[in-house]
Amino acid sequence: MRLLAALQKEARKLTKAKADLERQLNAISAAVKAFGSTLAIDSTNGRKKRKGRHLSAAAKARIARAQRKRWRLLKATKKAA
């Protein structure tokens, strides 16, 4: 019975903590809404959207070639050992 009472007490604590966190989240959401879109430019989570950073096909090929070389060297050292 003591175990059940302890679990119920912990459940009440967690429920209270959840309510507190929800209140804090609502306050933060209200503050963000009050500032308008200045804090949440182009994004729903408040981060600025990055501009695209693209690699050329040649750059991708160089990276792939270098990685294959690293794998080849790693396999060779494993076989030698």
pLDDT in tens, 20-56: 999 999 998 888 888 775 655 555 565 667 788 899 9
Q: Is residue 48 part of a domain?
A: no
Q: Is residue 68 part of a domain?
A: yes
Q: Which residues contact 39 (CB under 8 A, 6 or more apart)?
A: 32, 46
- Domain holding 26, by residue range, is 2-43+56-80
Which segments within 1-81 are labelled E, that is strand?
none
- Answer yes or no: is pLDDT of 64 > 90: yes
CA–CA distance, 28 with 39 (Å, rounded to integer):
12
Q: What is the mean pLDDT of residues 44-72?
A: 87
Using a pLDDT cut of 90, give the percent of the chain over it: 58
Q: Is residue 17 part of a domain?
A: yes
The count of other CB atoms within 10 Å of the CB of residue 39 is 14
Q: Is residue 49 part of a domain?
A: no
Number of independent structural domains in the chain: 1
Q: Is residue 7 part of a domain?
A: yes
CA distances for 20 relative to 7, 35, 54, angstroms? 20, 23, 44
